[in-house]
Amino acid sequence: MTVFIIRRLLQSVIVVAVMTVLVFAGVYAIGNPVEILISQDATEAERAAAIARLGLDKSLPQQYLAFLGNLLKGDLGTSFVFGEPALKLVLDRFPATMELAICAMIIAIFIGVPLGLYAGLRPDSWGGRTIMTGSIFGFSLPNFWQGLMLIMLFAVILQWLPAGGRGERGEFLGIESSFFSWDGLSHLILPAINLALFKTSLVIRLTRASVRETINLDYVKFARAKGLKPSRVIGLHVLKNIMIPLVTIIGLEFGSVIAFAVVTETVFAWPGMGKLIIDSIFQLDRPVIVAYLIVIVFLFITINLIVDILYAILDPRVRLSDQKA
């Protein structure tokens, strides 16, 4: 188990190294951030001074080596735009994105699994068909448009919920979060639904397919023949066996929800990492882009690790010490 985790971490270091080279070269190729940052009235001397201050006068390999040197000291560089440590900027916005992602995943699981189960058990019923048709909308309507429609309906026309931004944070057990205040929750609902719609459809379809497959297997038939109650057959025998594909997908999707909440965060002016990365890309703020991607890479690796460990718990046949893992 320990060997397994260590090997995973080593792999992640390699991924991060490759990623930083790509991002460095990529952002360098796009252009010079000084053109965007500097005042239009600045003289040539000031422009040169700004370039030197940001370390952009050195060659690309030199800049990269300087970055690596600082990285070993735990310093990911200072934002060109904000003048603050890039990692701090990213981590400051991490809680907002996590709130959104957790809320969206809760919605996706608690709506997606029951609906998918129903559609799988009664595929030909009116309800089952409605659910499956509905899930097509969740897949195919563009995220951006969905968000605007949610705002139009619930914020502009009905005026039930705010149109965007993050509300007040409540405090509970020393943790400050939007979950613990009504104002915070009311701000969280719409963006979370927007982010969850696609994932909910995915969970519905996956659950339905797994249920359809499992329900006809011999052990389920046997359990039924034994005279077990339907609730026990479904709740224990079916549900437990469809958990493995579900956990894989939910784990991976959780990562992608955090990493790609960009659209939702932009539409709802949610002050998370996604909005930061979009702004940083527009301003070629390379230290922030690199810091963000490093955080995301580690996040994905951690989630995958947790998913692998969950496998072992769900399915005793999986052993993590296996060399192929």
Partner 1 sequence: MWKSLSAATFAVGLVMGAAAQAEDITIAVASEVTAMDPHYHNTGNNNQIVGLIYDRMLHQDSNQQLQPGLAVEWGPIADDVWQFKLREGVKFHDGSDLTAEDIVFSYERVPNVPNSPSSFATYTAGIAEITVVDDYTMQIRTNGPYPLLPIDLSTIQIVSSENPDATTEDYNAGTASIGSGPYKFVSYTPGESIVLEANQDYWGGAPQFDTVTYRPISSDAARVAALLAGDVDVISGVPTSDISTLEGNPDIVLSQGVSNRVIYLHVDSRRVYSPFVTDNEGNEIFNPLQDVNVRKAISMAIDRDTIVEEVMEGIAIPAGQVLPEGFFGVSDNIEVLEYDPEGAKQLLAEAGYPDGFKLTIHGPNDRYINDEQIAQAIAQMLTRVGIETAVETMPRSVYFGRATGDENGSEFSLMLVGWGSGTGEASSPLRALLATRNDETGLGRTNRGRYSSAPFDATLQMALNTVDDDMRAALLARATEIAMREVGLIPTHFQVNTWGTRKGLSYTPRTDEYTRPTNVVIE
Q: Which residues bind partner 1 (CB under 8 A)?
A: 30-47, 50, 53-54, 78, 80-84, 89, 92-93, 147-148, 151-152, 155-156, 159, 162-166, 266-269, 271-272, 275-276, 279, 281-284
CA distance 156 to 179: 24
Q: Which is nearer to partner 1, 38 or 325 (CB)?
A: 38
Rounded least distance, CB 194 to partner 1, Å: 12
Nearer to partner 1, 88 or 224 (CB): 88
Q: How many residues does this entry show for the chain?
A: 325
Minimum CB–partner distance for residue 136 and partner 1 (Å): 25
Q: Which is nearer to partner 1, 116 or 147 (CB)?
A: 147
Tell me the C-alpha to C-alpha distance, in Å, between residue 97 and each of 94, 264, 276, 284.
5, 10, 11, 22
Angle at 266 between CA 262 and CA 272, to 5 degrees: 65
Choose among 295, 298, 308, 316: nearest CA to 87. 295
| CB of 70 vs partner 1, minimal distance in Å | 15
Q: Cβ closer to partner 1: 166 or 205?
A: 166
CB closer to partner 1 out of 114 and 164: 164
Task: Provide φ and ψ at 5, rounded to 5°.
Answer: -65, -40
Distance CA 320, CA 1 (A): 6
Q: How far is the CB of 124 from partner 1 (least distance, A)?
A: 41
Residue 139 · residue 174 · CB < 8 Å? no
In the complex, the smallest distance separating the C-beta of residue 263 from partner 1, rounded to whole angstroms, is: 9
Minimal distance, residue 199 CB to partner 1, in Å: 22
Q: Give dist(CA 47, CA 34) in Å, integer.
A: 7
Q: How far is the first Cα of the chain from the last one, in angstroms, to the nearest whole number?
A: 10
Q: Which is nearer to partner 1, 93 or 237 (CB)?
A: 93
Residues 6 or more apart from 305 whose CB is under 8 A from it? 5, 8
What residue has token string 């039930």?
160
